[in-house]
């Protein structure tokens, strides 16, 4: 976990890639709040309300169509 946090601190651009299922349940740990990422890439299975909420907090969200 410390290595991942150090990588986040050293990065010039932080991108989170996660499918929609990662947003509907609690995990064992959280690396960082979503607002710490420059871009969040998620599939179109995530509820539009969630996407709007992230964008309202200033996070760039890229929604990718599942194919």
Residue 51, CA distances (Å) to 34, 39, 59 in order: 11, 12, 9
| Span 38-62, pLDDT tens digits | 999 999 999 999 999 999 999 999 9
| Span 1-23, pLDDT tens digits | 889 889 999 999 999 999 999 88
The predicted pLDDT at position 26 comes to: 75
Predicted structure pTM score: 0.85
The predicted pLDDT at position 28 comes to: 65
The predicted pLDDT at position 33 comes to: 87
């Amino acid at each position: 976990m410390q290595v991942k946090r150090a990588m986040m601190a050293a990065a010039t651009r932080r991108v989170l890639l996660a499918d929609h299922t990662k947003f509907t349940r609690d995990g064992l740990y959280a690396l960082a709040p979503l607002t710490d990422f420059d871009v969040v890439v998620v599939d179109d299975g995530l509820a539009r309300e969630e996407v709007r909420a992230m964008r309202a907090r200033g996070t760039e969200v890229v929604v990718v169509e599942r194919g």
